[in-house]
Amino acid sequence: MRKHAYKRVLIGQVTTTLLIVMNILVPATADATAAQHERVKRTNIWANEIKGTGLVDQQFASAYDALQQGEYNQAVFTLGLLAEQGHTDAQFYLGLLYGRGVGVHQDAIKAIEWFREAAEHGHVDAQYELGLAYAAGTAVTVDAQQAAHWWRAAAIGGNTDAQYNLGLLYAQGEGVVRNMMEAARWWHQAATHGDAAAQYALGLMFARGDGVTQDLGQAIKWWYLSARQGFDRAKAALTELGRIAFPQ
């Protein structure tokens, strides 16, 4: 189970009046404690039931539906229970909710904690988000090597955004040794899966012969595919190429 920090309430000076009030509230406090224990008991029973009957995915689906319908309290409650049981999708979505302040108070630190829980157990999208956090310094110290580490994990898992970003790190030599062949390799993977930015970057590499054999035909091919998706830089590259090839 994860460890949580709880706020301590500072009572201040204890007066005779306060002591009287506290004595009056003792039975109510005891009842509240008993009720809390009962809620925890019911929660544990619920968790064991869904775990034993294979209903975890069904519960996650209901939480996701609640999220889509704006029923944030129910969604956060169910996602929290599932996340504590190790459900990586629930951990990832809790990270998103805390990061964006949807249904909960925005808390970048908690977002990173949940992303890390999921990422360390192989959740590709959580690995990508953790890489973003290290690249931007969101609730963690900026660390290009850690960004590269988590983006590589996500890129291997097929996340095209991670593949593009990893290619960018290799092209710039940030967090990794600069290697244009590696940049081309990762951009090619993202490009073949339809990433417009990667298609443009790969076209640029073919036009210049960076990390690949110079090939204007390949450059045009990738720029065309990128431009079809509305990527402005690819459109501009094709326009400039046409101006050079067919001057007025």
Q: What is the pLDDT of residue 205?
A: 97
Q: What is the pLDDT of residue 33?
A: 46
Q: pTM for the full model?
A: 0.77
Q: What is the pLDDT of residue 54?
A: 54
Residue 128 · residue 150 · CB < 8 Å:
yes
* Residue owning tokens 């290619």: 167
Q: What is the pLDDT of residue 227?
A: 97
Within the chain, residue ranges assigned H as helices are: 16-53, 56-68, 72-84, 88-100, 108-119, 124-136, 144-156, 160-172, 180-192, 196-208, 216-228, 232-245
Q: Which domains does the chain possess?
A: 55-121 (1.25.40)
Q: What is the pLDDT of residue 19?
A: 24
Q: What is the pLDDT of residue 232?
A: 97
Residue 147 · residue 134 · CB < 8 Å:
yes
Q: What is the pLDDT of residue 42?
A: 47
Q: What is the pLDDT of residue 20?
A: 22
Q: What is the pLDDT of residue 244?
A: 84
pLDDT values of the chain reduced to their tens digit, one per residue, 248 residues: 232 222 122 222 222 222 222 232 233 333 444 444 444 444 444 445 444 445 788 899 999 999 999 999 999 999 999 999 999 999 999 999 999 999 999 999 999 999 999 999 999 999 999 999 999 999 999 999 999 999 999 999 999 999 999 999 999 999 999 999 999 999 999 999 999 999 999 999 999 999 999 999 999 999 999 999 999 999 999 999 888 877 76
* Residue owning tokens 């704006």: 70
